Chains A and B, each alone.
Chain A
Amino acid sequence: MRNLTARSWLLSAPALTLFIVLLFIPLLMTFVLSLNSFDFYGGIGTDISLANYAEVLGDSYFYEIFGRTFAIALATTVICAIIGLPQAYFLYRMRPLWRSVMILIVLGPLLISVVVRTLGWAVLLGNKGVINNALINIGVIGQPIKMMYTSGGIVLALVHVMVPFMVLAVWAALQRLDPSIEAAAESLGARPFTIFSRIVLPQAIPGVLSGSLIVFSLSASAFATPAILGGRRVKVVATTVYDEFLNTLNWPLGAAIAMLLLVCVLVAMLAWNRLVERRYGEVFE
Chain B
Amino acid sequence: MRQNGPFASVFMLAFAVFMLAPIVVVVGVAFTPEGFLEFPPSGLSLRWFYAILDNPDFIDAGWISLKLGVVAATLATVLAVPAALAIGRGFFFGREALQALFLSPLMVPTVVLGIAFLRLLSFMGLNGTFLGLVLCHAIIITPFILRLVLASVVGLDRSVEKAAISLGARNWTVFRRITLPAILPGIIGGWVLAFITSFDELTVTVFIVNPSTTTLPVRLFSHITQTTDPLVASISAVTILFTVVLMVVVDRLYGLDRLLIGEGKR
Contact = CB atoms under 8 A, between A and B. Distances in A.
Interface of A: 4-5, 7-9, 11-12, 14-16, 18-19, 22-23, 25-27, 29-30, 33, 83, 86-87, 90-91, 93-95, 100, 102-124, 130, 157, 160, 163-164, 168, 171-172, 175-176, 179, 182-183, 186, 192, 217, 220-221, 223-224, 227-228, 231, 237-238, 241-242, 245-246, 251, 254-255, 258-259, 261-262, 265-266, 269, 284
A110 B260 contact: yes
A26 to B, nearest CB: 4
Contact of B135 (A18, A27, A95, A117): A18
A16 B98 contact: yes
A94 B108 CA distance: 36
Given A22-B135, A258-B112, A168 B261 contact: yes
Contacts of B98: 12, 16
A122 B228 CA distance: 9
A172 to B, nearest CB: 5
Nearest to B248: A104
A122 B220 CA distance: 14
Given A9-B92, A87-B11, A231 B107 contact: no
A83 B15 contact: yes
30 contacts: A8-B92, A8-B95, A11-B86, A12-B83, A22-B135, A23-B104, A25-B120, A26-B117, A27-B116, A29-B116, A30-B116, A86-B11, A103-B256, A111-B246, A112-B23, A113-B243, A116-B240, A119-B236, A123-B39, A124-B21, A124-B25, A130-B25, A175-B265, A179-B1, A223-B206, A246-B207, A251-B115, A255-B115, A258-B115, A262-B112
A90 B79 contact: no
Nearest to A161: B22
Interface string B88-124: 0010111100100110110111111101111110010
A255 B115 CA distance: 7
Given A12-B82, A19-B101, A130-B39, A221 B109 contact: yes
A280 to B, nearest CB: 13
Nearest to A31: B116
Interface residues of B, number: 88
B203 to A, nearest CB: 4
Contact of B203 (A9, A29, A223, A231): A223
Nearest to B3: A93
Contacts of B4: 90, 93-94
A183 B1 contact: yes
From A18, A115, A176, name the one whose CB has the most chain B CB atoms within 10 angstroms: A115
